[in-house]
């Protein structure tokens, strides 16, 4: 725990107070796959980084490095395509949210609501176009 001493701030470890250094960082590792059992106040004060690496993920990273070195233009195009795919998926999700919001706020017979059916039709067309771009 952090304590104030006559010489400034320090960290109390058992019965010894170690001088505080603001640039000090402590990194710990664990083989535990989950963080069950840790109190919320501890989890709120630490930064948890998951370094779990799968064979496939490592393979993809190494392949990207090799392609970047051998054919940088090809790797740039791949990165652009990944960004486009993310953007299109975000637009699809936003469109789905809009439709769900309209359905939730609709009153009466939703089949007879021209505004709602028009929005559903245009959302479906947009999703089909975006899905074809992703394929």
Instruction: Return the number of other C-beta atoms located less than 10 Å from residue 51's C-beta.
Output: 5
How many residues are recorded in the chain?
135
The residue assigned the tokens 């006559």 is: 6
What is the distance, to the nearest Å, from the Cα of residue 7 to the centroid of all Cα atoms in its chain? 43
pLDDT classification of 20: cutoffs 50, 70, 90: confident
pLDDT tens-digit map of 114-133: 888 888 888 888 888 877 87
Contact 67, 74 (CB under 8 A): yes
Contact 121, 113 (CB under 8 A): no
Give the CA diameter of the chain. Answer: 77
Cβ within 8 Å of residue 84, ≥6 positions away: 133
pLDDT tens-digit map of 67-121: 889 999 998 888 888 888 888 888 888 888 888 888 888 888 888 888 888 888 8
**Residue 5: its H or E element:** strand 2-5
Q: Sheet harboring 2-5: ordered strands across?
A: 2-5, 8-13, 16-19
> Roughly how many angstroms between the first and final C-alpha of the chain, as a whole number?
55
């Amino acid at each position: 725990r952090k304590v104030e001493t006559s010489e400034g701030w320090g960290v109390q470890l058992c019965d010894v107070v170690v001088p505080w250094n603001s640039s000090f960082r402590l990194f710990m590792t664990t083989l535990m796959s989950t963080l069950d059992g840790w109190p919320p106040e501890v989890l709120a004060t630490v930064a948890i980084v998951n370094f779990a690496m799968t064979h496939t993920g490592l393979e993809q990273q190494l392949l990207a490095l090799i392609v970047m070195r051998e054919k940088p233009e090809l790797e740039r195009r791949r990165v652009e395509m990944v960004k486009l795919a993310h953007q299109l998926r975000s637009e699809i999700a936003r469109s789905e949210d809009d439709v769900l919001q309209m359905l939730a706020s609709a009153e009466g017979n939703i089949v007879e609501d021209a505004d709602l059916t028009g929005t559903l039709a245009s959302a479906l067309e947009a999703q089909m176009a975006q899905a074809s771009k992703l394929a």
